[in-house]
Structure formats: structure tokens, C-alpha cells
A and B are shown apart, each in its own frame.
Chain A
Amino acid sequence: MARAPVVSSVLVIGSGPIVIGQAAEFDYSGSQALRALREEGVRTIIVNSNPATIMTDEDMADAVYIEPLTVEVLEYIIARERPEGLLATLGGQTGLNLAVALAEAGVLDRYGVRLLGTPLEAIRKAEDRQLFKELLHEIGEPVLESVTAYSVEEALRFAEEASLPLIVRPAFTLGGTGGGIAFTREELITLVQRGLAASPIGQVLVERSLLGWKEIEYEVMRDGNDTCITVCNMENLDPMGVHTGDSIVVAPSQTLSDRDYQMLRSAALKIIRALGIIGGCNIQFALDPHSDRYYVIEVNPRVSRSSALASKATGYPIARIAAKLAIGHTLDELPNPVTGKTMASFEPALDYCVVKIPRWPFDKFAHGDRTLGSQMKATGEVMAIDRCFEAALQKAVRGLDSDQADLLWEDPTWQDEEALKHALRVPTDLRLWAVAAAVRRGWDPDEISTLCGIDPWFVRAIQRIVTWEGLLARTELTPELLWEAKRLGFSDRTIATLRGTTERAVRQLRRTWGILPVHKLVDTCAAEFAAETPYFYATYEDEDEAPLLDPPKVAVIGAGPIRIGQGIEFDYCSVKAAQALHHAGVAAIMLNNNPETVSTDFDASDRLYVVPLDAESVLDVLLHEAGGDPEAVPPVIVQFGGQTAINLAGELAVSGVPILGTDQEAIDIAEDRRRFEQFLRQLGIPQPPGAGVRSLEEALAVAERVGYPVLVRPSYVLGGRAMEVVYRREHLERYLELAGAFASGRPVLIDKYLDGVELEVDAITDGREVLIPGIMQHIERAGVHSGDSFAVYPAVELPHEYVQTLVHYTTEIALALGARGLLNIQFVLHGGTIYVLEVNPRASRTVPFLSKVTGVPMVEVATRVLLGQTLAEQGYNGGLWPRQPLVAVKAPVFSMAKLHGVDVQLGPEMKSTGEALGIDRTFEAALAKAFLAAGLVIPRGAPVLLSLADEDKPAGVELARALAELGYPIVATEGTAAYLRSRGVPVELVVHHIGQGHPNVLEVILDRTVRGVINTPGRDEGTIQDGFLIRRAAVERGMPCLTSLDTAQALVRALLGCTTYSVQPLPAYRTRETVPAFV
């Protein structure tokens, strides 16, 4: 029945580093596509610059390239691999743009590569605003009054015809970068300038704002035979005006009648047909809440973040099917893998409600602008499934793993009525809680709805939750009341808060009364057909349909939503762990709530539970898998799910859950400053002096004792949250007050800040031996968060005796701690001594990177250790794994252009969202590739701005001289220029400080006189503000902005030392054969 694929080899382009607007969803789509193509016997080639992905695992494709995503590199790969087809619609906007660029550069024609799936013409029509508008006119679909502008003047002319507010959308950017809504003429000018700068083709769309209209999306698929289906529709709670990536989304739509639903569905089918898309696409509509009028807002002619959500919300594997359609299959000949019996040419029927809530990074960026608009700011998202909206919403909130643990949370300023009104009117990440707060104050739901634009249906649902808060707080708890509360999604913890008792007491009561969740299947068909996939959610209903898995079985706790400090790396680890368990004959049970990931694919584990990652949900799932017997709960693995999973270890251990690997005792030693200090002292391993403190007085005393500068941070954190280097007593006082540091009850850690080379080690131990796959050296000195540092494998310039010391310390610590499985240790080399900075008794974010470059399958090895196999039994010895004949540089990638008000300056607080890999034979070439892959490229001969802090000026001389000699004209601020000139470095242009004449430092960035910025922040208050503006301007202009001299020096070194670099499949770098270099 099924026909042969139209091509025998396919190149798949990945989406590169994780940035806001382009996250783990494309690892999901790329991985599914690769699997789908392989099934068809197609030879697969994958290229991605992001090493933290499943798709770049060597067993995923026939050829895996982790290389910079540029036209030149891609052309080289195409020339070498000669794929017959190119699949570009599964790698996000990056993949799509690159495919268009390859086509336009003639590369595809030159090598006879067919663009598979959606044709180029369709991509152009969907992406180019003008062409898209014309198409909609042709097929009679409503188009918003708008103008495509290439200049501010054009936009202003349009503004005279159409009325404000107007929305500005730049063409060809991720997550609507640079867009926004203009309420005034001045705002319009600013937004258009920014949008033109952000758009790679210098084009923006200015259109009438539909503020307050419903935003509805449809996920549509089409095959080459013109069969079209919609996978599902989704309704944004937040009306038009908030980017869909920043909106709370519910699937399917809740407030649309069948007439509305079918009207938009029919329009969606008409559009996908007119475009001629083959594969998946996402179509966004604005629907007037008071009439039948609608507008087509946007089409993504590719698999998108919304597709990932739709896949997980329905069970329909969009990316997999899209890949099959691209190679010539039709929907009616592909089986629906969920049921195994029905075909892919159907539309999923849901019998539950799905809620997605974005995860924003504002907990880390206290100064960031929390306002939500047309530019996406969220780094990740959580999904919750339940049988009613209230429960799905409350479970999604629980899953956020944020300070807002439930809807009871309120901002203290909301005591003021005006402040609360403002919080309703202006969308921010906290608006959901503001709605609940307003309801709690007795405000009329319809009035709240008018203020925030959220449909009354949703506001009333929140009102129902709030009403139940009152019932739970004030009436006697009966089994009936508790059952209804659980059905509405109240967590044990929220019920405990409301009743003034403990979470464990509520859980005990629930068990006594037999109130336990059942598990229902996500089956694409509302139970109409028997389904084969093991994809479940928990709910409080009568019938359970998840028969117990046969032992042996082990649960893997995933990492939850992608956030800064806890990214896709942990999903990689979770997926690999599940695979390793499966291969070892142990059923892998995956628990996660992130719809963007590979781990929530129904075929990534033996059984998937999409539940919040809190103690309650995990314990309930485990109890279920134990057949209700608390003595028989299956063991869990917490070391692969980042800090989220590790933080559950304590509660799980107390509840009698066996934890495979490093036990809670060891975790506690590593995380408790006092115990850890004592532990290291006993081993005779140095660590920076310091202590855990619980009061301001204690803190000041410790700081005095060890001497400033000190590094301050709360314990049990991820991504160095709220971590800071403090130079003076006043700063320490301010920090501790601002951070509310002692509020959590856990100690604050104060350590002597040691300036030096930071080193990092990941290791696997079975309790007898310790295998160290590799040592990484950071380019930036200690004080810059390890996640934001360039990391180099191997530690190329580290003298042998230090390597020995590191191996020795790591082995000692791992064994003495009694660790099992993976651990990560960070060191600093200061004044000839190696100090231990921290020990993380879990998989770290460098595990995928190190696994790939060393060839040691670290997660598999660690998982087998957790199952009881020794390293020796697996054929590994203790000690340092042989150094590979390559150099790999992991470059951090930031999303700063999207986060207004956030300083890009590097520090102990992690700010990067993703990473890119540069790998080659020499350090210089690897560095150069890392910079290229991270997008840190200054065009040859373009001026570079230097503005250095006084203490950095001496070191800056050599840097500036080298840049000048490389042909980069130096532009510098007055002080820096004077210093450089006095040392004989030519400075082409001296710029003034802001407000002190023209041209000033900001102007040369904004008008692109300079194309790169090196700015090291001074410590005096005067230059702080200038520096902040300089750095913001640079990132918003999309130019490299280096805030650490170490990074800048590395850049110069790469520029000086690298004339050629290699492009070859990943495993080839690990062999010692010489390969032809690529210029």
C-alpha cells in the first residue's frame, strides 16, 4: 500500500541554539522526523549547532554534523553528503531561513537537492507579508489593513490613514523579535526603527491593532494529494496583543460555537491549499468577540512551537507525519501510530482539556520589563491535562515550579485597587494571579473581563476556583468536599495552606478516604478506538485505564519547563536514561510536563505520565504503579531532571520511595554549606572560605572574616539564581534585603570570591571507581556563571599536575560522598591552588556536550550503574577518559534582544538560554567555529567599539592592538581612547559619553557605525548606567557585545589563529585521521 519514498537520502536542518522563541520543540520535531525517515529506509543527515539535543545523537541519523548553521557550512555538507532531499520545515525559523538562503544562493540547484515538503514558493508566500496579503485577497479571506514598510516614513504615512493603536511586526524574525504595539506616534517611530533593525530584510508590517479580539490557532496538515486535516485548534486566554508564545493557551477552544469553529477551520483549509503546503502549518486568526468577523493574522509554513503543543495535546505526532508527507506519502496511507488501526487522515477528538502556561525568566531578571506584547519573552512552557479547565489550569500553575506555586499567590502591591486594575489591564506574566486576586476581592467577573480582555468564561472558571478556596478554608472537610476539590485541581499543598495544616496531613487524609487519582489515556480519538500508546494523565474520575506495567520498572523524573539554568540538556539526559532503562529490560516510566520536548513523545519511554513535577503528583503516580501498595513503589531516578527533580528527592525519600543513585544524605551534604565544608575539610580538599548564614549580622561577620569581594547566593538554587559578586559591605546589605534572602528559611551562602580559571568536571561513579569523561576549562574567569562561560574540552592549556589534582579530587569527593551515577564538580584555579567551588550530585548541563565530544555515552553508563552494573562490568575503568584528538568549545547563546530592561553583562547569575558547539582539531579553529555558531561575528573590517573599565584598560591594550592589526578600526570612549592612544594603539574615532556631545557612544551603535562592542562594566555608579545603555543598544542592534575581556581575548585569538576550519561528521573528529580542511 505505502509507496516508496521520493528520495533515498535526506538532509535535516536543526534549529541551532535554544533562544526565546525557538526552544526544545525543534529537537522534538527534528528527532521525530529523523526516526520517521529512517523507518522508510532513507539515509539521514542531520546538521545542528546545538549539542544538547537528542537529534544530534549519533544513533539518530546516518551522518551527524554538529556544525555552525551557515550557508557556507551547509554547502560543504551538501557537497560531501550529496543528499537528494532537504527537509527544512522542522528546524524552526532558523532551518527555514537557511533553506531559503541555500536555494537563493543556488546551492540546491547546483547539487540537485530537492526541497522536500512545502515548496519554496509557498514558504515565500507565507513569510513575505506582501505576498501573503495578496494571496489572501485572491482567495477572499479577510486581511487586516496594513502596510509593508521599509522606512519610518512609510509607516507614518500609513498611520495617518489607519488609526492608532498600530502593531509593528518585523519580517523573518524569531518569536516576533523587535515587534510591539504603538499607542502614540512616538512609540510607532521607536518600534519601526527597532523592527527594521531586527528584520534581516529590513522590512516591517504595520497593521491595525486588534487588541481585545480572541486569538485562535489551527494546526493544519496537507499531503501531496490535497487531503487536508486540522490536528486541533487552540484558544489563547490572553486576547490579541500578547504573543501566542506568551499566552496561556487552552486546547481545544472553549468559547467557540460550532459555527465559529468550522468557519475558522474552513478558512484554515482554504489557506493551506492556496499556499500549497505539504506537511504541517500553523494558522493564527483573530476573532471578534462580538461578531462573526475574523482576520487571518499569520501563517507559519512549518512545524512550530504550537505544533509541538498540538502534538502533545492531542497525541497526534505532527512532525513525524509531516516528515512522511514530505517524502511523498499521503495521509490516508499512513497509520495513526496512536491507535495503530486507524489512519493519519483523521482529526483528533479530545476528551479532556489542555492548558499551557508559558514559563518566563523574570524570576531571574528582577529588572526585566514584565509587560507582555507582540514580542515573546517566555523561555519555556508547561502543559497540564485534565477533564475540566479549572483542574488543568491549576495543575499547569503547579507545574511552573515558580514562586507562584498556586493561584493563592498575590503581589503585595495589589492591596491597592488601582494597582490591581493596572495589573489586569496591562498584560504581564502575573496577570492570571491578578485575575484571581480581583475575584477574591469580590470584583464582578464581567468587569474583570472588560479590564483584561480575557473571555468571561475563563474568568468565571477562576471565580469557581476562588469560591472553592473559601469553601476549603471555612467548611468542614468531608470526603465529598475533598473529592470535588481534587476534581477542580486543588493540590494537597494548596488545600493544606487553606486549612492551616500540612501537605502530608492532607495526603494522608486523602489516602484514608481513598481519594486517589485515576489515569486516563491520551488517544487522539476520545476512546472511540482502542489505543496502543502508553500516554497518560492523572485525574479524579471513576475509572482508571492504566494497567500496571510489569516490573522491573523505574520512573525517571523529567526537568519540567525550559528555563534559564535548566534547559534542554536535562531533557536530553531524561530521554537517554529512559532509553538505557528500556535496553536493560527495565520499563521506563517518564514523568514530565513540558510539551516542547522529546521526553514527552509517547515513544520516548515505555510509559509517559504528563503530570506536574511536584511531590504530590509523583507520589500518586508511583503509588498507582505499585498497585496502591506504598511498600511496593517502583524506584525513581532524580539525577537527570535538573534541580527540579533533585529538589523532589527529599520528599520522595521521606515518603519511602527508593531513589536510584546518589541518596538524599549525599545530596544534602553537597547542598548544605556547613556539612559540605566539614566534608571537604575531612578530605583535605581546599574550598574558598565562607559559610552558610541565616541573618544579616552573621552575613556581615562572615564577609569581614573572609574579606571582600564575596560571592553570595541562596542554597538550593538553579542557574545561579540571585547569585552575585559583592565588593562592599553596603552592597551586601542591599543584596540581602532586596533578595529577601532569608525568607525561604534556607541559609544564604557567602564565600570568598576567588579570581581565577574555572574548571569543570563531570564524572560517573559506581561507588568503587570514578570515570571522568573529560575536564572542561572555562574561558571567562570564575565569577561568570559556568552556564554563561565558553567551556573548552579538553582543558588544553592546563598543566599536567593540575589535571592530576582534578582527577584526584573528583575521585575522592565522589567516593567519599557515596555518590552513584553522575556528578558534576566546579573548581577554580587561584594562585596555584585548586579549590572546589561546588558539587552537583546530578547530571549537569554539560553532560550532552561532553558525551558527544568524548564518545562516552554518559547517561547510558550512569543509568546502568544505577541499575547495579559496575563501571568495570560495562568495560570502563576509573580515572580520566583518554583525551580525544579534538578541541570542542561550547559557546553560550543569549536571548537578550527579547528581554527589555535586562542587562547583558555577564556575572554569577546565569543569563544564557542555549549553547552552540564549535569543534575542530585546533583550539583556535574550534573557538572560531564556536563564535560563528553562536552568531558572534563581526564583519571583516568593521569598526569595533571599546569601552573598558579602568582595571581592564591595561589588558585591553594588547586586545585593541590585535584588533587594529586584524583590520578592525577601533572606536573608543574618551577614557579608553586616551589610554589606548597613550600606549600607541590607533583609535579611529573617539566617542563621547551619553549626553556629553556628538557622536556619543550610543549613537554609533544605533546607526551601526560600529558592528561589535567590547564593554567591561566599571564598578563606579556613574558608568553603570552608560554601560547598561551601551550593552542594550548593542544587543538590540543584533551585534556582538562582549562584556568580559576573557571572551574578547578569545575572539581575537580565534581571529588571529584560524584561517581554515573543518566540517565533518561528529565521530570523525574523534578519530586521529587527518581530514581535508575547509576554508
Chain B
Amino acid sequence: MEDGRIFPGTPFGAHRNAEGEAVFTTVMTGYQEVVTDPSFYGQIVCMTYPLIGNYGICAEDDQSRRPWVAGLVVREYCARPSHWRAQGTLGEYLERWGIPGLTGVDTRALTRHLRLHGTMRAVLVSDRRGLTDEELREMARRAWTPDTEDVVPAVRGERATFGPVDAPHVVVIDCGVKHNILVSLRQRGVRLTVLPYGVQAAEVLALDPDGVVVSPGPGDPVQARRAVETVRELAYSGVPFFGICLGHQLLALAAGAQTTKLAFGHRGGNHPVKDLLTGRVRITSQNHGYCVEAASVPTEQGWLVWMVNVNDGTVEGLRHQELPVLSVQFHPEGAPGPQDSQDLFDIFLKLVRQRWQASMTQAALLAGEGV
């Protein structure tokens, strides 16, 4: 670690070194979803749950096209999984993608260290022979971390389309989208167009979407400044807008609010979030190192804090009093984590369908006039 602490362990996965920002996640299941979540790009992830790899790896659980974590640290890696869907082991999977893992680590000590001192630079060294402790520390101090540049381009995907043509059209801006966001939308019968991060608002609006989703993604939202203007134009365009995680932070920046870095982030599947409109609390899946500053939300412009984290009061969701715009800091798609917030896709799609129906009616009217 950059502050000099060394955690010994035994390598698994690829036997090589990794550098990045050390973070921990408290999800107890879903290690595959964690490693394939693009938001973990450039991070060395410590799993607080000690037994990892138990049920193997299964292609359909991938949240994106590959694993993105810089390295994985666990207490007890299981090399002989047991599950009817298992297609291989986590270790083989990481090895295939050149990602190192470390097992046998006192991950609780590591987690406590991060809680007390905050996320920090770290290196994961698979073979430390020939390296002194001081040399290891020096490597950690010099480690590259994903908050130093705009890292979204590294994880975004290609343009893609899915779904029936005669359905409401949702454009997803892929900043590192998770598979289950696309699945959650497709299950609700929409036409999807995925556009890579970097796209201009005009290009999006040219597709005449009934709704726009800006996805989660890695890094510091301030570094993703290229997207802020796009998001601003989309949010004010009148097209229903749904920002998730990074998408939520970008919306906040676009609205004129500010984001700050959390000491050790929110990463887990157990965070309570209170909906200030209904008073109801939902258990959410979270993975973010930055949050929107509540005081900076321009309420005078119609923006309102929709949801807050019950534990630390941080902003978890934004809405606008007039615009069909909503955003959440957490992951309504779960994967890993609870599916309790699937209803948010319904709320969004209700807006999408309203717009679609209105445009269909208008089209029908126009067609009628044509006749």
C-alpha cells in the first residue's frame, strides 16, 4: 500500500503484477459480476467476504465483455467450484485475461486499513522474490490510479442495437455499461441503441429516442468532462433521461452541482437508500467512489434530491420538478446485489412509453392529415 503496509498472500489467477487503487466491496456473492463491472477498472479489489470462487464462472453472468479489475484480493480462493452452471474457475478466468489474484490475505485487516486511511494506491505483486519491502512500497507509491485521467474511453463498448423496431426507443450511452442494465431494459420490451461514451447530444437526438440512459462507469466524473455537455443537452431536451451511477454524477455536474471523493467509497450490496418522496427504504447495490454534494444541488433550478443514503446521508438520487429526468447513484440492475430497485426501470420506462405513445399519436395524426 502507498502508506507502507504490506499484506502477504499467495498468488492465483495470472502470476504478474498489478497497480491501481485499492478498494473493498462487501458483496457476499457475485465475484464474477464484480470483476466484470467496468466501474472497477484500474482498481485492486478486496472482497470482504472470505470464500471466493465457490460456484465457479459462468459466461452468462459476465457484466461486460471482459474482467476489468486490476487485481483481486481474497481470503480463501476456491479452485474446485461446485455449481451446475459452472464453466470454469475464477482463477483460470482471471489468468486468461492476465489479471493477478492474491489469496490467503487477512482481508479484514486490509478492509479496516482502507476504512481508517481511505482508498489508496497499491500494487499487487505475485512474486516478491528479489524485492525489498522498501522497493515494494516505492512501487505502491508510484502506482497509477484511475482517477488521474478520463478512463471511460478504456472501457466503453461498441455501438449496438437490440430489440424490436416497433417499440419505444431507448439510447444507452455506454460509459462502461453493465450487462444487466441492458437486460433489464430489454426485458421491458424496448428497442435499444447503445452508443459509446463520447457521443454528442445532437447525434443522440438525431436518433429520435424516447428515452436516454447514461450508464455507470469508472473514474472521477470530473475527468469525464467530455460527457457533461452532452448530458446537459440531453437532460434539458425533454427526452426522458435516466442516469445511473456515473450517469447520475454526470447529470449532477451538468446541472451545476459538484461531486467529491468519498474516503473509501460505497461498494457492496447492502446499502439502505431512502426515497424521500415515499419514505420507503430500499436495499441497493453500490459501487462508487464519488458522490454528489447535496448542498451543491441547484434546487432553485428545479433539481431536487430524490433519495439519500440512510447510513451517511449522501445523495443517492436526483429528480427534476418539471423535466422527465431521474438519476440514481446506486445500481438498480443489481448484479451483483439486490433486485429491489428494478422498479426504477419501470418508472423510467413509463416516461419513455408516454413519450412514445404521444409521438405515435402525433405520427398517426400526421399520417391522417396526409391522407
- Seen from chain A, the residues whose Cβ lies within 8 Å of a Cβ on chain B are 225-230, 252-262, 265-266, 269, 289-291, 330-332, 341-343, 345-353, 387-389, 455-457, 460, 520, 525-530, 541-543, 545
Contacts and interface: CB of A to CB of B under 8 A. Distances in A.
Contact of A543 (B78, B85, B106, B280): B106
B272 A332 contact: yes
B223 interface: no
B339 interface: yes
A350 B28 contact: yes
Given A257-B55, A258-B30, A527-B112, A351 B336 contact: no
Given A227-B280, A346-B272, A349-B268, A388 B33 contact: no
A111 to B, nearest CB: 33
B50 A351 contact: yes
Interface string B79-93: 011111100000000
B82 A258 contact: no
B283 interface: yes
6 contacts: A257-B83, A289-B84, A345-B272, A349-B268, A349-B269, A528-B264
A387 B270 contact: no
Contacts of A256: 29, 55
A341 B111 CA distance: 18
A456 B335 CA distance: 25
A445 B76 CA distance: 20
A457 B340 CA distance: 29
A238 to B, nearest CB: 16
A387 B33 CA distance: 23
B191 interface: no
A348 B270 contact: yes
A254 B83 CA distance: 10
Given A257-B55, A388-B75, A225 B279 contact: yes
A258 B60 CA distance: 12
The 5 nearest A-B residue pairs measured at CB: A258-B30, A543-B109, A526-B48, A457-B82, A349-B26
B54 A543 contact: no
Contacts of B282: 227
A520 B78 CA distance: 22
Given A257-B58, A259-B61, A526-B268, 19 more contacts: A225-B281, A226-B280, A253-B29, A255-B82, A257-B85, A258-B27, A261-B29, A345-B274, A346-B270, A346-B310, A348-B270, A350-B28, A351-B26, A351-B111, A353-B51, A388-B50, A455-B82, A460-B80, A526-B49
Contact of A346 (B85, B283, B336): B283
Looking at chain A's contact residues, is the secondary structure mostly helix, strand, loop, or mixed?
Answer: loop
B287 interface: no
B51 A258 contact: no
B281 A345 contact: yes
B178 interface: no
Interface in B10-45: 24, 26-30, 32-33
A290 B84 contact: yes
Contacts of B108: 351, 387, 520, 526-527, 541, 543, 545
A542 B7 CA distance: 9
A332 B310 contact: yes
A343 B273 CA distance: 11
Interface of B: 7-8, 24, 26-30, 32-33, 48-51, 54-55, 58, 61, 75-76, 78, 80-85, 106-109, 111-112, 115, 264, 268-272, 274, 279-283, 310-311, 334-340
A226 B343 CA distance: 15
A225 B280 contact: yes
B46 to A, nearest CB: 10
Contacts of A456: 82
Given A528-B268, A543-B108, A341 B26 contact: no
Contact of B107 (A342, A351, A545): A351
Given A346-B271, A527-B48, A541 B54 contact: no
Contacts of A291: 84
A349 B270 contact: yes
A389 B268 contact: no
A779 to B, nearest CB: 53
Most chain B beta carbons < 10 A, residue from A258, A262, A265:
A258
A320 to B, nearest CB: 18
Contacts of B7: 542
B106 A541 contact: yes
A525 B283 CA distance: 14
B9 to A, nearest CB: 10
Given A252-B28, A332-B274, A343-B311, A258 B335 contact: yes
B5 to A, nearest CB: 10
A938 B333 CA distance: 60
Contacts of A347: 269-270, 283, 338
Contacts of B24: 528
Contacts of B112: 527, 543, 545
Contacts of B310: 332, 342-343, 345-346
Most chain B beta carbons < 10 A, residue from A227, A229, A456, A528:
A528
B277 to A, nearest CB: 13
Given A262-B338, A543-B109, A351 B48 contact: yes
A349 B49 contact: yes
Contacts of B106: 541-543
Contacts of B281: 225, 227, 330-332, 345
Contacts of A227: 280-282
A331 B310 CA distance: 10
A89 to B, nearest CB: 21
Contacts of A348: 270
Contact of A258 (B80, B264, B336): B336
Nearest to A457: B82
Nearest to B112: A527
A929 B111 CA distance: 57
B274 to A, nearest CB: 6
B336 to A, nearest CB: 4
B269 A389 contact: no
Contacts of A266: 338-340
A548 B111 CA distance: 22
A542 B61 CA distance: 34
Most chain B beta carbons < 10 A, residue from A228, A260, A351:
A351
Contact of B83 (A230, A255, A269, A331): A255
A260 B60 CA distance: 13
Contacts of B32: 258
Contacts of B280: 225-227
B111 A527 contact: yes
A30 B51 CA distance: 34
Nearest to A521: B108
Nearest to B336: A258
A526 B283 contact: no
Nearest to A226: B280
Contacts of A228: 340
B268 A258 contact: no
A457 B334 contact: no
Contacts of B111: 351, 526-528
Contact of A529 (B49, B61, B311, B338): B311
A542 to B, nearest CB: 4
A542 B269 CA distance: 27
B85 to A, nearest CB: 7
A346 B311 contact: yes
Contacts of A388: 50-51, 75-76
Nearest to A445: B80
A771 to B, nearest CB: 48
Contacts of A259: 61
B338 to A, nearest CB: 6
A522 to B, nearest CB: 11
Contacts of B107: 351
Most chain B beta carbons < 10 A, residue from A343, A456, A526:
A526
Contacts of A332: 272, 274, 281, 310
Given A262-B337, A527-B111, A341 B50 contact: no
Contacts of A349: 26-28, 48-49, 268-270
